[in-house]
Amino acid sequence: MPSPDDAAPGSAAAADAAAGDAAAPASDSDAVVSEGPEGSAGVPPAEASEPMRQEQQELHGRLSVLGDSVIESTQVFDDIVVRIKLESWRRAAEVARHELECDYLSFISGIDWAPAPKEGGDEGASDTSAPVQPTEMTPGAAGAAGRYQVFAHVQSTRRHWGVTFKADVDESDPRVESWVSVYPGADWHERECWEMYGFSFDGHPSLRHLYLPSEFEGHPLRKDFPLLARVVKPWPGLVDVEPMPGEPAEASATAETTDQ
């Protein structure tokens, strides 16, 4: 298992990046190609070629069929993310299939935007082997109203474009319309989403477990579902860490105390 330090063996970056707080990406001007993570809505990224830009504009034009159903739409790199009202979820599939010529279903899945609970409680705070996620809830591209979102990606094999649809799902009663009648391939994706997030898909022919045993309880991909392997036994990576030369030996001492 490589540690983050393995990422750039022998590269010059390792020398001049301060250990610990190197949050900024490499600022080499010739290495940077893309824009920030989110451009403004409807503007194709700067590096898009001319035919690609035209395609994107036509796609945006056709998306206007959805009208009021669209809450927000944004361009994320080369992909268009459209957040629609939950009640228009199935209509979005129909529009995608017939108006946008998106005949290909890539995936349907869910996101839980809740902040991840700190692994191992407060005692695990010094465990740097696991990434520390922010504690407040921040929405992703095209925004989010609540905790749960269902999202799907469809593509066109003829026009070579794709759209990502998102919709907010009610936290107390997570219900979504099924896409099976539009895209038959949605069957397994929705079964997976149902067992992993607990979203119930109205109109799905048989919502049953796909991966997990039928007696399994809980929805593993929800953020409040703990990764049981780490709860039972803390990640051993920290034990092996020796202090860097010149660093106080305290770091390893605290590691041993948290690993009891």
Partner 1 sequence: MTRPTTASERPAGPAGLDPGAFRHLADAQVNVELDTGDMILNLGPQHPATHGTLRLVVRLDGERVISADPVIGYMHRGYEKLTEFRTYPQVTTLINRIDWLSSFANEVPFLDGAEQLMGIEAPPRAKYIRTVLTELSRIATFLLFLGEMGLQVGALTPAFYGFRDREHILNLIEAATGGRFHPNFNRIGGLKEDLPWGWMAECRDAMKIVFDACHTFENLVLGNEIFEARTKNIGIIPAEVGASYGVSGSNLRASGVDWDLRRDGRPYLVYPDLDFQVHTHPDGDSYSRYVVRLEETREAARMVLQCLDAMPSGPIMAKVPRIIKVPEGEVWVETENPLGQMGYYVVSKGATGPFRVKIRSASFSNVSILPWLLQGVYVPDVITILASLYFILGDIDR
Neighbours of 147 (CB within 10 A): 19
Q: How far is the CB of 68 from partner 1 (least distance, A)?
A: 25
Q: How far is the CB of 249 from partner 1 (least distance, A)?
A: 21
Q: Which of 12, 172, 232, 257 binds partner 1 (CB under 8 A)?
A: 12
Per DSSP, the residues of 167-229 read EEE-SSS-EEE--TTT-TTHHHHHHHHHHHH--EEET-S----SSS-TT--S-TTSTTS--HH
Q: Which of residues 157-176 bind partner 1 (CB under 8 A)?
A: 157-158, 160, 162, 164
Which CB atom, from 68 or from 139, has the smaller least distance to partner 1?
A: 139
**Interaction between residue 183 and partner 1 (CB under 8 A):** yes
Rg (CA), the chain: 22
Binding mask 69-88 for partner 1 (x = CB under 8 A): -------xxxx-x-------
Q: How far is the CB of 65 from partner 1 (least distance, A)?
A: 20
Report which residue type is found at 204.
H
Cβ–Cβ under 8 Å, residues 89 and 81: no
Alpha-carbon distance of 233 to 230, in angstroms, equals 5
**Interaction between residue 37 and partner 1 (CB under 8 A):** yes
Contacts (Cβ under 8 Å, ≥6 apart) of 55: 159, 160, 161
Candidates 61-69, 83-91, 218-226, 249-257: pick the segment binding partner 1 (CB under 8 A). 218-226
Q: How far is the CB of 191 from partner 1 (least distance, A)?
A: 10
Which CB atom, from 36 or from 245, has the smaller least distance to partner 1?
A: 36
**Interaction between residue 23 and partner 1 (CB under 8 A):** yes
Which CB atom, from 140 or from 146, has the smaller least distance to partner 1?
A: 140
Q: Which of residues 99-138 bind partner 1 (CB under 8 A)?
A: 103-107, 109, 111-112, 116, 119, 130-134, 138
Q: Which of 43, 126, 185, 258 binds partner 1 (CB under 8 A)?
A: 185
Cβ–Cβ under 8 Å, residues 198 and 219: yes
Q: How far is the CB of 238 from partner 1 (least distance, A)?
A: 13
Strand order in the sheet with 79-84: 70-76, 79-84, 162-169, 148-155, 104-112
**Interaction between residue 9 and partner 1 (CB under 8 A):** yes
Q: How far is the CB of 240 from partner 1 (least distance, A)?
A: 14
Alpha-carbon distance of 245 to 219, in angstroms, equals 45
**Interaction between residue 98 and partner 1 (CB under 8 A):** no
**Interaction between residue 29 and partner 1 (CB under 8 A):** no
Q: How far is the CB of 38 from partner 1 (least distance, A)?
A: 6
Per DSSP, the residues of 84-102 read E-GGGHHHHHHHHHHTS--
Cβ–Cβ under 8 Å, residues 141 and 87: no
# binding residues, partner 1 (CB under 8 A): 80
